Amino acid sequence: MSVSEIFEIPKYYYFESGNDFSGSKGDFSYKIVNDEKLKCMTWHGRLCSMKAEIEHEAEFDRTPEGFADMVKWLEEQFLLSE
């Protein structure tokens, strides 16, 4: 089961292992980069994050609480873009 009601995002331990993740819903795309913090970027279109024009980005602590905040932020960005 995903941690999001909108996106198929893996649970926190996936990121705790150092993995990045990207996905989309319709024309809304996102990427979560795992570094010292979790960096989440969003854009519209089918281009990869390196070629797309990033519309929004935010960083969150690499903790379970920061991860939950990131998922909430990502869902809000999606809902605002509709």
Mean pLDDT by groups of 10 residues along the chain of 82 residues: 86 94 95 96 92 96 97 97 86
Q: pTM of the predicted model, to two decimals?
A: 0.92
6 located within any domain: no
The predicted pLDDT at position 82 comes to: 82
Number of domains present in the structure of the chain: 1
Neighbours of 51 (CB within 10 A): 9
74: domain range?
Answer: 12-81
45 located within any domain: yes
- DSSP-derived secondary structure letter, 51: T
Contact 62, 37 (CB under 8 A): yes
29 located within any domain: yes
